[in-house]
Structure formats: structure tokens, C-alpha cells
Chains A and B, each alone.
Chain A
Amino acid sequence: MKKSNLLRAGAVLVSLSFVAVACGGSDDSASDTTVAAEAPASTCEAPVASIALQFPETGDAANLGAPMLKGSQLAVDEFNAANPDACVTLKTFDTQGDPAKAPAVAQSVIDDATILGLVGPGFSGESLAALPLYDEAGLATITGSATNATIQDQGFKVFHRILANDAAQGPAVAKYIVGALAPKSIGIVDDASDYGKGLADAVKKEAGATVKATDSIDPKAADFSAAVSKMKDANPDVIFFGGYYGEAVKLSTQLRDAGVKATLVFGDGVKDQAGYADAAGPAAEGALIACPCKDGSPDFIAAWEKAYKEVPGTYGAEYYDAANVLLNVIKGGAKDRAAVQAAVNKYDAAGITKQIKFAANGEATEASTIYMYKVESGKITYVADIK
């Protein structure tokens, strides 16, 4: 009795493992393709130094992290190809964009003595959590994406930002909404994150009396019906959402399902082709997305397409620039963290997105333009500059 039971169970198990093997097989082939899609591995045999990248490689907003890695990697690979005798390695550190994970990650960056500078952190929340540690260690950081407008006022000496912050983005978005769309009323929703709420508040302040309804959503929830009911009741011409693409997909879909016809406007956290436009499909059509990010120069786009077989992702160009600042500084003879920090502060050269020069608070002096994009026939396409 027991024995036959054991046999039968064995048979079940064998068939189970076949299923598992089949899954495992497809898994393997999938990881092969991702390897192929990645940048050509830099052949750096005797690195003189390394730079770190702190960003969300996995987690809820991993789609936004991928171009950060690809942009930085492209810069490092080009640099190493041009300077084979003084090459630099890129070390990546994954925080999942989570402020709670950032301090521990920052500590491991600091503990690695070969790291002379950091590209990132990727998000605003993790920046606020990690920057006190980097500041104490004197490790220069250059972010190409963390746009919260309070970071530059905290007195971090090592903080540098290569693009416009939310204080520029919020008013620019509001200006565009009021000017180009001329709505009678506006609805504003945020995801209660440092980034989303900060941006939504900036838009709210600038748009003033035309704001008719506001709400916050819980990004972990699947159901936004209360916020949707509120927007449906207020029936605004334009709805702005401050948050990331994952929630933007859910919110757009649920708003359209409820018959809300308002023009949807988002910030840079939603500018993700696969994460937003492809995932939301018809619900995303016609949505406007503001971003301080640029597509980059034609040479850069060609190099990216050659390396990754896709068009450059959001912030790819900014991270390419940020990595290049550190690489040029290291090439210029900075051999320790203090020298890199001093040289970054004095840096003044053309990048692919703008002339790169940092003010005393770490902001790039030429970063003020916001670019507006629109989802047209399922593709996020450039519409206009907002100055």
C-alpha cells in the first residue's frame, strides 16, 4: 500500500519536473536574449578606477532603471575603447528605488575604495536617504533622474544634478496645461511618494483656482475606484497624475473604463514606452507626458541603437552625460574622491543634452527646459519645448 503510493507519487513528480524543465528551458533562452541585448562587455583588464551606479535595477519601477544602466554602460564602454590603458569599470548597485534599502546600499558603495564617483541615485526618495552618507564620505554623485526639488537645498556638497528639477517641471507642466490646453477645470491625483506628491503639489500651486478636485492613491492597491469616482464627479477637462508608470497604467485604464474623457497629463516617471504606452494601450492614447529628459544627439541615438537594438530610453542620454562627466574627470587626473569632487564642481564642457556646469547647490546651470511628449498611435513622441 505505502509502496504503491510512493510509486504513484514518483510518477506525478517526474511529470512535474518535465513541466519545470520546460519552464527552465524557456527561462534559459530568455536570459540568453537579454545577454545579447546588453552592451558589449567592456574589456577592461587593468582598471585604474571604478564608478558606481545606484539605481532601481529590479522592483516596481525597474523599467525606468534599465536606461540608466544602458546609458552609463554605453559611456563607460566608449571611454574604455578610447582609453584601453586607463580604463574604468562600472559597478552597479540595486536599491529597487526603495528609500529603505538605499542607506545599506550606499554604505557598500562607500566601502569599496576603488569607487571614485557615483552616477545616480536614480530616484528622489533613495537620494534623500543615501546622500547624507555620500556627503560624509565625500563621494561625488551626479544624478540624471532624481528630480525632487528639495534635494538641492539640504546642503549636500557632493550632490549634482544634470537636469531640471520638479520645481521647474511642475510649473512648466502647469504652464503648458493652462496655456496650450486651456481647460476650464483640472483634477490632480498623486501617489503619495516624495516624487509624485512633490510634482503634483507644484502643479497644483501654479494652476491655482482651476484645480477642482484632488486625491491621493495607494500605489500598492489594484483598485482606484474612489479616486476615479471623485474625478468622474468633478468632470475636469484635464487630469494630472504625479507618480510612476505602473500606477499610471491602472489609473488611465480605470478612468477610461469609467467614461472619463479628460486629457491625461503625467510627469517624467511615466515616460516609459513599454511600461506605460505599451501596457495601457488604448487608454494611454493622447496622454501628455512632461519630462526634463531629452532624446540625445543623433550620434548618441545611433550608438545606442547599435548597442541595444532599441531607441534610447528615458534618461538614457542624461546618464550617458553624467557618466561622461565622471570619466572625463578621472581621465583629467583626479585620483581620489576629494579630487573627483573638486573637479566635478569645476567641470564645464558640452554634453549631448546641454552644456554641463554645476552651480554651488549642485544644479546644472543650463537645466531649465522641460520637454513635452505625447502618446500618438501607441508611441511616445516629442511635441514641444516648454521654456
Chain B
Amino acid sequence: MSNWLIYRTFWDLTVSGIVLGLIYALVALGYTMVYGVLRLINFAHSEIFMVGTFGVLISLTKVFGISLFEDGQYPYRSGLMLVAILVASTVAAMVVSGAGAVVLERTAYRPLRGAGDAYGAVVLAFLTGLIASFLFTDSMMVDLAIAAVITGPLSVVYVRIFRKGRQAPRLAFLISAIGSSMALAEAVATWGPDERVIYKTPRVLEKKVLFNFLGADVRIDYVIVALGAILMMTSLLLFVNRTRLGRGIRAVAQDAETARILGVNVNSVILVTFLLGGAMAGGAAMMFTLVYDQTRFNIGFLLGVKSFTAAVLGGIGNIKGALLGGIVLGLAENYGSAIFGGQWKDVIAFIVLLTVLMFRPTGILGESLGKARV
């Protein structure tokens, strides 16, 4: 096709590719950190991102009461109000995603490690009861009542099973991950009066062009994404490298068993890892809705696959690798679709991945499992 197109629109494609790549990178952090400490691909992480976008949606429409349009125009806000809305929505997304990740860890993974506790038992018992009651009645109230009754005795049973402390085989974690991913997506899909619809998020930020960079318009939302992503990644790196808990994460990533012997509370380190990964996904969710103004129950799926690809591309288990992988992938997709047409976008992305893995099987920056770089 028009091969010279890429020269004319090169910087335009570069700017939007980097923005998309930074969002990939933030989500990729969750995959990479959990892989670092647990050697587990947390497939439900894409859904943690997705619930974050719904956190933004609820914050904007319910907490701030902003409607999609005001008199047919975007509901732009300005000044302090805008800053307050953006900060509060980011916090909402990070809290929802972080909490989601923590609940996921305690109910879907921790019991499998043979370290289940009362929280996990109660939540699992409640969910079991809820699912069982769905089979008998359609009324949500009755379902909840049945589930609440079942929860008591069942959680005692679960706690007993957990106390036996058996470690499940590796495949069980994978199945648990895929199962929780589906469960979360379907739960959100059936939420609200309209099932499975695309939810538009109100646009509070006027997307003004700030400056022109070699023919590419750099919009304010792009700048916010770039600054936010860099800020979040720098704080994460500082946390992992400079703090006591961060040292714990590095220790567990290097050798969980030795860390345990030396007095590191492995379970709480894992919990903190999930929390951090979830919070990063929440930040990504805010940026995603800022740029694309929408969300949906399956919005995480494609983005999750891409982010996981970015993590592998950069070197899974490696935080800087996630950043590099995300940006490389975002750019490859954009350049690829400009050269070959939009329908080739995913093909290009995965050819890049395959090529890199052929020559560097551990990703561009390499896995950092044994080197404690996380």
C-alpha cells in the first residue's frame, strides 16, 4: 500500500503509539510483578483493569453526578474542579482495582498455595452459596439470603480444608486465574439495567492541542497520560528498590523459600504485590477512559492480551522491561497498521514478539528472576 504514508504521518503515529504503549506498560506491570513473586501468569489481571474503568465511570457519573452530555455538548470542567475530579477518579480507579486484586489473591490463589485463611473461606463460601442458589431462583434477594445462610457452615468447612495446607499443582493456579477472569467479566456484564452495553464515560477534560511536535498534534490528555505513567512507574521503582516492603518483594522474587526461612512474611509480600499491580492497573484504567471515553465488560480482554505480550516482550518479571515492551508494542502496532493497513495490526504486533523471542528468548531486557531486580 501507500508506503510513504508512514513518513508523512510518522510523528503522529509515534505520539499515539507511545500513549497506547504507556497504558499497555502500566497494565503489564501487574503481570510482571505477580509473575516475579509467584511464577504465575495472572490471567485475571485484565479484569482488574476492567473493574478500574468502572471505578472511573461510577466516580464520574454517580459521585460527581456528571452526565454524558450537557445540552448536546461535552461536560467540560476547568480549573480546580477539573483537577479534583481527575484526582478523585484516579484514586477511585486505583482503590477499586487494588481492592479487586487483593480479593482475587485471597480467594483465588492463596487457598491453592495451602495458606488459605478465614477471609478467603468466608468469601469463597458466600460465592459458592450464591452460585448454587442461582440454580434454583432468579430473584437476587432470595439468592443473597440463601447464600448468607450457607456461608456460615460452609466457611467452617473451607477453613478446615485450608488448614491442611496442601499446595495445589501449578495447573490449578492457571485454571483458577482463567476462571476468575471469566467470573469477573460476566459479573460486570450482567451488572446494571442494560446488559453488555458499551458505557460511555463523561468527558470532563477538553482535549485541546497543547503543541505541535514535527507535525503531530500533542493533546493535553496525551501529556497527562505520559506524565501520570512516568510518575507511577518511578514511584513503583523507588518503592521496590528503596523500601523495606520492596526489599521483601525482591527477596521473594529471588527465592521464596529462603526468604520465608529468613523471616519474610511471604503471604503479606504477595498481597502487597497484588495490591501494587492492581493500583497500577487502576491508574491505567483512568488513563484509558481519559483518552477513549468508554468502557465495557470485555474491554480488558484484548488490552490484557496486549499488555501480557508487552510484559513478555520486555522480559517478564522485569519492571523496566514492562515499560519498554509496552512502548515497543504500541509503536509496532501503529507503524504496522500504517504500512500494511489496520487489519494487519495484531499480526505485526505478534511478528515483532516472535522475532524478539527468537533472538532473545527472555525478552528485550531479559527476565530478572535470579537477579532480584524484579
A residues with CB within 8 A of B: 2, 5-6, 9-10, 12-14, 16-17, 20-21, 23-28, 30-31, 33-34, 58-60, 62, 192, 213, 215-218, 220-230, 232-233, 246, 249-250, 253, 257-259, 279, 281-282, 285, 377-378
Contacts and interface: CB of A to CB of B under 8 A. Distances in A.
A62 B303 CA distance: 23
Contacts of B74: 281-282
Interface in B115-141: 117-119, 121-123, 126, 139-141
Nearest to B140: A24
Contact of A282 (B69, B151, B192, B193): B69
The 3 closest A-B CB pairs, nearest first, are: A24-B140, A30-B193, A225-B16
B82 interface: no
B193 A31 contact: yes
Nearest to B148: A17
B299 interface: yes
5 contacts: A31-B193, A59-B196, A233-B8, A249-B200, A258-B217
Interface stretch (B249-257, B267-275, B336-344): B336-344
Contact of A222 (B143, B197, B303, B334): B303
A23 B191 contact: yes
A62 B119 contact: no
B80 to A, nearest CB: 25
Nearest to A28: B140
B219 A218 contact: no
Given A59-B196, A230-B9, A249-B198, 16 more contacts: A9-B118, A13-B122, A13-B151, A14-B148, A17-B148, A24-B144, A30-B192, A58-B195, A62-B197, A216-B341, A217-B342, A221-B302, A226-B13, A226-B337, A281-B68, A281-B72
Interface centre among B17, B122, B144, B151 (most CB of A within 10 A): B122
B148 A225 contact: no
Contacts of A58: 195-196
Contacts of A226: 13, 16, 333-334, 337-338, 342, 345
Contacts of A9: 118-119, 121-123, 155
B308 interface: no
Contact of A13 (B73, B123, B207, B209): B123
A222 B299 CA distance: 8
Contact of A220 (B148, B195, B302): B302
Nearest to A14: B148
Interface stretch (B30-38, B287-295, B313-321, B357-365): B287-295
A226 B302 CA distance: 17
Contacts of A10: 122
Nearest to A217: B342
Given A5-B119, A20-B144, A229 B13 contact: yes
Contacts of B343: 192, 216-218
B87 interface: no
B259 interface: no
Contacts of A59: 196
B193 A227 contact: no
A57 to B, nearest CB: 10
Given A232-B12, A378-B72, A257 B207 contact: yes
Contacts of B237: none
B73 A282 contact: yes
A246 B5 CA distance: 27
Nearest to B200: A279
Interface centre among A14, A27, A233 (most CB of B within 10 A): A233
Nearest to B301: A220
Given A258-B217, A279-B200, A225 B13 contact: yes
B185 to A, nearest CB: 14
A249 B254 CA distance: 47
A226 B17 CA distance: 9
B119 A215 contact: no
A222 B193 contact: no
Contacts of A5: 117-119
B140 A27 contact: yes
B20 interface: yes
B337 to A, nearest CB: 4
A6 B13 contact: no
Nearest to B2: A213
A229 B12 contact: yes
Given A222-B303, A257-B207, A282-B74, A227 B196 contact: no
Contacts of B352: none
Interface string B343-357: 101100000000000
Given A21-B141, A222-B303, A227 B159 contact: no
Given A225-B334, A279-B200, A2 B144 contact: no
B285 to A, nearest CB: 12
A378 B71 CA distance: 10
B72 A222 contact: no
A6 B193 CA distance: 34
A62 B196 contact: yes
A228 B346 CA distance: 17
A239 to B, nearest CB: 14
A221 B198 contact: no
A225 B139 CA distance: 44
A249 B217 CA distance: 22
